[in-house]
Structure 1
Amino acid sequence: MLDLPATFRGSPVDEDGEPWLGYIRVSTWKEEKISPELQETALRGWAKRTGRRLLEPLIIDLDVTGRNFKRKIMGGIRRVEAGEARGIAVWKYSRFGRSRDGVAVNLKRLEDAGGQLESATEEVDARTATGRLQRGILFEFAAYESDVRGEQWRETHDHRRYKLHLPATGRPRFGYVWHPRRLPDPERPGQFILQEERYVAHDVLGPAMADRFRQYIDGDPFYALVGELNTDGHRTTRGGHWSEQTLIRYMDSGFCAGLLRVHNPKCQCAPEVRGNCPDVLFIPGAQEELISAELWQMYQERREAMRRTAPRARRATYELSGLMRHTQCRGNLAANNAQRVVDGQTVKVPGFSYRCGRRTVSGPTACPGVWIKREHAEGEVFKWLAREAAPGIDAAPSIPQQRTEVRDDRVQAARERARLQREADQLASALVNLRTDRAMNPDDYGPGEYEAARDRIRTQQAANTKAMERVAEVEATPHRADYESLIVGTVEEWETLNARERNEILKQLVRRVAVTKTEDGVRVEVHPVWEPDPWAPESEGAAVQ
């Protein structure tokens, strides 16, 4: 039960008056933070003036926006529907809500239940056509005010993101020391000291967060990273314990890589779903990087690989879990159980076969389907593995064969990446030196000179980051020689490995195991990661959908 201040309790009222609910809302907008005391005084004056009786306690929403109806007002509407009250009274109609759709839907719901909505300061008789017109104008003006303020905030956020290269909202971020735009002046109470807002890497928390990226790339799950953070005593910027979703959201934001995650301005999605829209872009930020561009690229690649992997396949039960595909529909093949008679008794055989999941879910019109024994599929994959391992197992000839050196684009990419990294370090140092010089000698810079120099450096940083991403892709391109020792060692130790260990190794070597239905049965093809993807022209994700 909310312990309300005495000002909200009021004095005894006429018990014979018509029961009404009083609703108070204080907005999140600073411009319209009307005190709850003022609203309550107006409501109680209205009740006394009209002979109504306000039910105690009043319904109060503090620091809540009116642009949606995820508020206590919905409980008030339900109480009117239950016959507990005759209607809802508000200080002004804008307190009920500022969303056009939300106001229309919930006001109709209130009136359909026989209830009314009245304002203590806006005398409107909604029982007449003129009164409903007046109320509609007041609601439309409230929505207009909300739209104007929303546009102003969007302009402010865009200025911070695209001009200052700062997050839309200034607040602490884990791993950084936040220097806000203004600080209280200790010598002049009530006054502030202005400074350049910036984020500087924390000596302890910065490396701690960078280690989480490295651990994830090395294969650690998020729950393990969360456990280590909490065990080591690290807390979120709000002082709470880390959770998987909190850590994932922060690491995916790209902030630790010196980037800002923004919604694509060209996306036409509705505003109410924009917060969960996947159409996002990464733009350069002004904060220091905790991780390199190469490490960020590797993190994104593993995140994407995990998104394409079914949750059950992440902890594989069988050695081909998550790898089996049907050639015709490009869909997944799921392991299926079977029943067999053993010694006169019917027993269940787990994972007896693989069957096309699309055929199972959508029927033969979507896919004719394919079926293969798990034992057969696993045997074919091991034969392929043994064939790949044979050149490495065979003894080398007494006289080594002369080979023409094969050009490795990755070597050139590594040299280019090293050059780009030096350039990135120089640009970062130049930006730091520019900020320091401006702080020490502000009179040396004319109007706009510092901003122009800063923007030139950031433009070069953006071009450098894109170039780093391109060479990182080339450098990460696999060659068969990179996997030869793993292949040979896997074949030699195959019998000692369990299903999960085999699956983890195969996922490093194989894109997929494609099964094709033929007149004679089925054909199994293995697509290794070092060969061009035969399914590349057609998006695998689109085909599976």
Structure 2
Amino acid sequence: MESLGGRVESALEPIDTTTAAGRFQRGMMGEYAAFQSELIGEGWQETHHNRRARGLPAIGGKRFGYHWIRNQGETERYEINPEQAGVLAWMYAAYNSGSGGPGIARELNRRGITNAREKPWHAKTVRDVLDSGFGAGLLRRVPVDADGVKITGPFQQIVWDQGAHPAIITSDEWEKYKRTRVQRGQQHPRRVAARYTLSGLVQCGDCTAAMTRRDRTGNRERPYVQLICRRSTDSGGVCMVTVSEHRAIDAVKQWLTELADDIGDAAESARRSEHLQLTTRATAEEAQRELDRIDKQLATLRRHLIAERMTEAEYDQTRAELLAEQQTAVERLALAKQQAATEETEPARVVALGLLAEWDTLPVTRRRDLLSRLIRKVQVTPPERRYGLAGISIIPAWAPA
């Protein structure tokens, strides 16, 4: 400022910077302010290291899928939130199955599920929650430079440490997410988020090659789109099987109608079914965690008896109580699995109901995702007679390979 002709004055300290003593005093004040700032920074660094050493995130706060326990007189910890845990597990499963961050965010917002800060979801918040690895029982390291500024790097360079909180997803599911995440980064966005309803589903019934989409008119208002055998256009030597995209979609919708049988309150049925599946999964996981806890307590109880820290009467009474709790947890787990099995016998019909009811309002990526749950491929066969129409058959996802 002074090099540009200005002057710095203090409203509280009588410093005359035109004298050597005044400039010295100003320099001392600046150094003291820097000392205080660095001292605070060192204190925060020590606090962060201490928290990480205890298996806690460097900075506290709410985490989706968990209750943040920090009551006075209790050890700070994170415990699983049963309602959010099933949703978080579904988010990982949806991403591993082909859904992207925007699609997952839209689905969560459609269901009225908010994030940890009780705000609507966005693609970035979905990605941040999944990338953190917190749901896998891990803590993400946040690298900083010499000035303490966060360094942002690619996903492949992230390092995670084991946390003290329980995991919601398994290590296998986490490893699958990491592989899928890296593969997604190497793919073209169109392969991740389908641009068309039948992307990747239509197959030539003559040579089994995929069928590509061609607009024959170039008229955006009234296009005529054909699906053509890719092998016939790329290399020739095979029958050129074609079908209009409109006919193929009509065939798919007719198949969905036959699968659904009736269409009463379809969208609501689909939402209730998905909510029930999330609840059932959360109940099963909670019961399994209860069984694991009781097993550990039984093992500890046996060690206390061997070390003569308790009498046999105390051992028998405590063991009987734990066995009763174990039986209750086993029954809860069996009931949850039975409900899950019951739900698995009807998901096709339920998904078909919701898909038909909201066909025109669903985004293409969501519509394509729901179709992939029901349909393995739409097979197009050459016409039986010249100038006839190609045959279309729907191969369901549950048909033998």
**Greater relative CO, 1 or 2 (CA 8 Å, sep 6+):** 2
**Which structure: greater strand fraction?**
1
Q: TM-score range by the shorter chain?
A: 0.3 to 0.5
What is the TM-score of this pair, normalised by structure 1? 0.36
Higher helix share: 2
The structure whose Rg is larger is 1
- How does the TM-score come out when normalised to structure 2? 0.48
